[in-house]
Structure 1
Amino acid sequence: MTDHDTDEQNHSDAQNHTDEQVRAAQSAALELAKLSEQSRNDALRAIADAIDARHDEILAANEKDVTEGERLLEQGEYTQALVDRLKLSPSKLNSITEMVRSVAEQDDPLGKTLEARELDEDLELYKVAVPIGVVGSVFESRPDALVQIAALCLKSGNAVLLKGGSEASHSNRILFDIIREATEAAADVPDGWAHLVEAREDVDRMLELDESIDLLMPRGSSAFVQYIQDNTSIPVLGHTEGICHVYVDRDADLSMAADIAFDAKVQYPAVCNAVETLLVHESVAADFLPDIVARYEEAGVEVRGDERVRELVDVEAATEEDWSTEYGDLVVSVRVVDSLEDAVDHVTTYGSKHTDSIVTEDADRAGRFMRSVDSASVFHNASTRFADGYRFGLGAEVGISTGKIHARGPVGLEGLTTYKYHLEGDGHLVATYAGEDAKPYTHREFEGTWTPGRRSRD
């Protein structure tokens, strides 16, 4: 067999493997959609208990990934931010299980009556929340992302294909195995509701299966998300880079502004909701910049400023590229602006529609900024680091959508549901409402909850 024949055989094997996984996921999704809330919650708690019981195994697997990551960091192939995202610890694992239990405690997203409308007497239409179906998620180096996504998909009744980065392969495998074994022990959870995808060829095959996969959720760089969007006809809910801003207004409490700017950069710089650019109104720049730059430098942050910043503090020069860069590290770019409008223009030009914050004591100016900035999350007097599904009370998130269709911002359980219409009648015929003697529709909204087989009004 030639090398070409071998490559073709490997490609065919990968296609067959992926096709089998997707068929199993489709079958499981139909069963999962009917699973009771109690069964889904019990399975989630079983996952949390299993992770708690196997810390040593998880940390041993994670150490392999981190060791390899540090080797590649020394060779210049990885960044420190990527290695930081890889690392797990006992406290991190405790946070993961707390997140899973939090998802279990969320209200059931399925079966909710979103709208109820009477079309005529005893003819009632209900709009009801249901799962999306089969979800494919391709995500970055953070192993905890696998658990977050799996937990949210289980709670929302969706089957899921999980493709993590090769840099976290050992961590992803052990976490997936724990999740699979915990849910296999739960008699009600259908086999095949979750699958681990590891090969790049499997991802390429997933992109072709538009009749079988209902939604793709890539988490990564803008270029990566764009690649997914350009190579599939499956709907894509993109989680792209976070070029987040904090704008310190002329009417800001400067002590508060310094605390917010520091927290937004230093508390955890490797994540997408960390601030990358600090904008400062010219009227407060001379008072504000020396103190915040000193705090940043004491924390090991490299500060890059425009010419007006560098007239006030001794920092590196910012380039045009800095304004559109997601550092994911202890680096921040700083610019002095002449007005609130200039701050908005900068965010509009260079931002990624993720999260931006204004610090000001003037409510009117805060409102102008928040209405003008077209980002998924816009904050007033708060750190950008609050842009997170858990902190928003969503239990967790599958990602932060910077687009505008279907779901936006931290995507939790609601973002993993769609709806369908249930019509309850009593022998009603369309002919009754057509022709010269047509009976009129009532089309009255009412408070009601759909119950199978019978009409129900609150």
Structure 2
Amino acid sequence: MSTAETIAKNAHIASTILKTLSDSERSQALQEIHDGLKLHKSQIIEANQKDLTNAINNNLDGPLIKRLDLSKGDKFDSMLDGILEVKELEDPIGKITLARELDTNLNLYRVTCPVGVLLVIFESRPEVIANITALAIKSGNAAILKGGKESLETFKVMAQIVNEVIASKTKVPENSIQLISTREEVGALLDQDKFIDLVIPRGSNALVRNIKSNTKIPVMGHADGLCAAYIDDEADLKMACKLVVDAKTNYCAACNAVETLLINEHIAVTDIQTIFQSLFDAEVTLHITTELLDQLEQEFIAKNKKFITTATEEDFHTEFLSFDLAVKSVKDVESAMSHINLHSSKHTDLIITANETKANKFLNGIDSAGVYWNCSTRFADGFRYGFGTEVGISTNKIHARGPVGLEGLVCYQYQLKGTGQIVGDYGNGGRAYIHKDIDIRTLNQ
């Protein structure tokens, strides 16, 4: 048996035990993991600093370094808070979503259950280890985690702590959370469709597309976070400035940061310049189409030339992950929708308008996982949605979509409970099915 097959098979065996633990046992495990990581914070940060030094020495991109830094602001504490948020969430396993009496004492139940074994592949973000571990254990799934080489030192230390805590202080079975470190192991695991139930890639477009091309296992994830904001001619100007600046600059390396700005062509040039100035003041470089540039006052352009460049068509297909924003004007809300549905990565898109009719048309017409009206695209996040944390963002249209929390990590099975009935008793003059729905409200109490 190959190493990959052993890893996958062990995860499968662990998953069959993990899902039988009570919610209190799984939740207590999360508390222990939280406490273990908190206790060893200095050790983790020290390892993270080694990764940051290596990243800088290897001239990695700025956005990648930002994602890697676990000591920035309250990032470490937020990671720990995410574990506790998941701990306090309602148990997603064993919920009855349908109950039907097929016949007397023959009752059918549709019950939520774990997906099984998750293979999660991510780049640069070391906090993903804590996020996925929490979500996997709470939802009764085993997980195999592969971090990027740029976060290897942090990855190794956190993995050791998590595994030691699980083994010594919880009822979670061995191999429920396994961590691998080489690309070769990933390639081999992608062939283990017998034991691995779902692959969740978190990283670049190239990473996701490569995984989708090299496995038979279902893949849940998004390739790009190409988010757009449309400012309508009935938008509140002050609100528009505030929202666009936040959506671009709050954390430009995030997949929910806005990358394209569409402006209604009927907005006055002075108002357009006010919007642009708010972005220039935040040190955002605008990639503006020639048609829109020609409308701006020459004095205004000269004053801000440091932050102005001429847009290319490629800019509207680009996830900058930096203080860059592609800008063009559009005729109306329908034109904005057309542009977004053609260029969007189907992540999260925004309309800013005071007109509810236009807003509803946009909300219903945009083919993305998240569609917003008058609020920043940066809200597209599992923590902000109250999911505790997220396993990732899915732009798929089946099973789970948008920020994926616990609900996205369970599926369901049908359980039929009888008293000795056989199919031969029914039909051809025999017994008839009742097919009477049972009220599930009391069953889930």
Question: How far does residue 223 in structure 1 lie from its aligned partner after superposition?
Answer: 2.8
SS at match of 2:179: strand
Question: CA 1:113/1:342 → structure 2, altered by over 3 Å: closer, same or farther?
Answer: same
Instruction: Identify the match of residue 170 of structure 1 among 127, 131, 153.
Output: 153
Instruction: Identify the match of residue 26 of structure 2 among 29, 35, 40.
Output: 40
Say whether residues 1:65 and 2:36 are aligned partners: no
Q: Deviations over 1:358-377 (max 9, x none)?
A: 01111110000011100000
What is the identity, as a one-letter code, of the residue corresponding to 2:335? D
Structure 2 unaligned spans of 5+ = 302-307
Q: Please give the alpha-carbon distance, in whole angstroms, between the structure 2 residues aligned to 1:162 and 1:319.
A: 38
SS at match of 2:2: helix
Residue 256 of structure 1 corresponds to: 239
Aligned residues of 2:97 and 2:111 also touching (Cα < 8 A): yes
SS at match of 1:185: helix
Residue 196 of structure 2 corresponds to: 213
**In the TM superposition, what are the counterparts of 1:46-445 in structure 2 within 5 Å?**
46-73=32-59, 78-89=60-71, 91-284=74-267, 286-311=269-294, 312=296, 314=301, 315-435=308-428, 437-445=429-437
Aligned residues of 1:217 and 1:239 also touching (Cα < 8 A): no
What is the identity, as a one-letter code, of the residue corresponding to 1:360? T
Aligned residues of 1:81 and 1:328 also touching (Cα < 8 A): yes
What is the identity, as a one-letter code, of the residue corresponding to 1:45? Q
Instruction: Identify the match of residue 446 of structure 1 among 411, 435, 438.
Output: 438
Question: CA 1:362/1:132 → structure 2, altered by over 3 Å: closer, same or farther?
Answer: same
Q: Deviations over 1:77-136 (max 9, x none)?
A: x21111111101162111001000000011100010011111112211000001111110
Residue 3 of structure 1 corresponds to: none
What is the identity, as a one-letter code, of the residue corresponding to 1:159? A
Aligned residues of 2:237 and 2:275 also touching (Cα < 8 A): no
SS at match of 1:263: helix
SS at match of 2:190: helix
Question: How far does residue 449 in structure 1 lie from its aligned partner after superposition?
Answer: 7.2
Question: CA 1:438/1:270 → structure 2, altered by over 3 Å: closer, same or farther?
Answer: same
Question: How far does residue 291 in structure 1 lie from its aligned partner after superposition?
Answer: 2.0
Q: Please give the alpha-carbon distance, in whole angstroms, between the structure 2 residues aligned to 1:107 and 1:64.
A: 38
Aligned residues of 2:245 and 2:282 also touching (Cα < 8 A): no
Question: CA 1:445/1:168 → structure 2, altered by over 3 Å: closer, same or farther?
Answer: same
Question: How far does residue 419 in structure 1 lie from its aligned partner after superposition?
Answer: 0.7
What is the identity, as a one-letter code, of the residue corresponding to 1:46? E
Q: Please give the alpha-carbon distance, in whole angstroms, between the structure 2 residues aligned to 1:393 and 1:168.
A: 27
Give identity over the alignment, percent: 41
Question: How far does residue 457 in structure 1 lie from its aligned partner after superposition?
Answer: 9.3
Q: Deviations over 1:261-307 (max 9, x none)?
A: 00000000001000000111111152432123222222221111112
Question: CA 1:144/1:288 → structure 2, altered by over 3 Å: closer, same or farther?
Answer: farther
Aligned residues of 1:447 and 1:457 also touching (Cα < 8 A): no
Q: Please give the alpha-carbon distance, in whole angstroms, between the structure 2 residues aligned to 1:211 and 1:457.
A: 32
Aligned residues of 1:31 and 1:190 also touching (Cα < 8 A): yes
Question: How far does residue 185 in structure 1 lie from its aligned partner after superposition?
Answer: 2.1
Q: Please give the alpha-carbon distance, in whole angstroms, between the structure 2 residues aligned to 1:79 and 1:416.
A: 32
Aligned residues of 1:160 and 1:195 also touching (Cα < 8 A): yes
Aligned residues of 2:257 and 2:378 also touching (Cα < 8 A): yes
Q: Alpha carbon RMSD of aligned pairs, Å?
A: 1.6
Residue 23 of structure 1 corresponds to: 9
SS at match of 1:268: coil
Q: Please give the alpha-carbon distance, in whole angstroms, between the structure 2 residues aligned to 1:289 and 1:333.
A: 14
State TM-score, norm by structure 1: 0.92
Question: CA 1:185/1:165 → structure 2, altered by over 3 Å: closer, same or farther?
Answer: same
Instruction: Give the count of matched residue pairs.
Output: 434
SS at match of 1:208: coil
Question: How far does residue 351 in structure 1 lie from its aligned partner after superposition?
Answer: 0.6
